[in-house]
Amino acid sequence: MKTKKVIQKLTYACACVVFILFSGCKKDAVDQVTPEDMDFQAEDFELEEQIGNDADKMADEAYTNGNSSSRLSPSSPVNSVLSCAVVTNDTVSHLLTIDFGSGCTGPDGRTRRGQILIQYNGHYFDPGFSRTGSFNNYFVDSNAVSGTRSITNNGFNGNGNLNWTIQAQNMRVTRPNGYYNQRNSTRNREMIAGLATTGDPTDDIYLITGSGTCINSNGKSATLTITNPLRKELSCRWIVSGTVVITPLNHAARTLDYGQGSCDHFATVTRNGTSRVIVLH
């Protein structure tokens, strides 16, 4: 009889533990994430943003300063990331090729290899201009890049500034361990400084707005909304200000804040009132 009671108590205790475990999982499944999980969507966004802006900058500079089957012209900035690339501009087929070969490290410290291919129509600063960039076995610091980025010049907006629509289609960055994040987005890029000196992109400043969606190799998806314009100064490697709200499916939104204008490699991620500093790529 005593043994039977002990067994009953143990059974009841086990049932309670199981109930607590399962009810706890059920309660927290919607938003139970580790600090690393809190950052992962923000870090994915930031890495893709830097690589995408980097590709756009190189395409702009190559089109402006490159010539057929050569490196950049003498008028290009000496600190250009294209200093170790071969730029080929086929004006007949309107194909611009940026070729980093088997790999080289630019003055920004990043190592690139492979090709960026840009099919274009017209001149970047002319209203109606369009181009589509794709990637051929292209890597940035061992991160594989694929997908397309299409840009269209919309002409001058109500502020008197040139602006472009940028569409990222299946833009995927795959890390060396196989993990990837893939994005589709539509942006507006407004040029607020540098138009008068089109031969020197280092004084160009853009404000970027828009939204999109992303999904990673773990099947986790999120929506992305720029809530304060991202300020991209081409003289700086990183975005210097602006905020993005990233909302993973079934999880609380987190805000990625690039700061107040300083050229540094830090940003802040905030979720449910808790903030963490992350290092920008």
Which pLDDT does position 21 carry in this prediction?
Answer: 32
Q: Which of 31-40, 81-90, 211-220, 255-264 has the lowest mean pLDDT?
A: 31-40
pTM: 0.78
For the chain, what is the mean pLDDT?
Answer: 81
Q: Which of 7-21, 67-81, 135-149, 176-190 has the lowest mean pLDDT?
A: 7-21
**Phi, psi of 145, rounded to the nearest 5 degrees:** -120, 135
Of the candidates 120, 113, 118, which has an alpha carbon nearest to the alpha carbon of residue 145?
A: 113
pLDDT band at 39 (very low <50, low <70, confident <90, very high): low
SS3 category, 196: helix
Rounded Cα gap, residues 250 and 73, in angstroms = 51
Mean pLDDT of 241-251: 93
Q: Is the pLDDT of residue 69 over 50?
A: no
Cβ atoms of 277 and 267 within 8 Å: the answer is: yes
Q: How far is CA 172 from CA 58, 77, 229, in A?
A: 18, 29, 23
Q: Is the pLDDT of residue 98 over 90?
A: yes
Mean pLDDT of 77-89: 77
Cβ atoms of 242 and 267 within 8 Å: the answer is: no
Give the model confidence (pLDDT) of 188-207 as tens digits. 999 999 988 866 777 889 99
Which pLDDT does position 187 carry in this prediction?
Answer: 95
Q: Which of 27-41, 137-151, 160-174 has the lowest mean pLDDT?
A: 27-41
pLDDT band at 33 (very low <50, low <70, confident <90, very high): very low
Rounded Cα gap, residues 58 and 46, in angstroms = 18
Does 246 or 124 have the greater pLDDT score?
A: 246
Mean pLDDT of 214-229: 94
Domain residue ranges of the chain, discontinuous segments joined by +:
34-279
pLDDT band at 101 (very low <50, low <70, confident <90, very high): very high
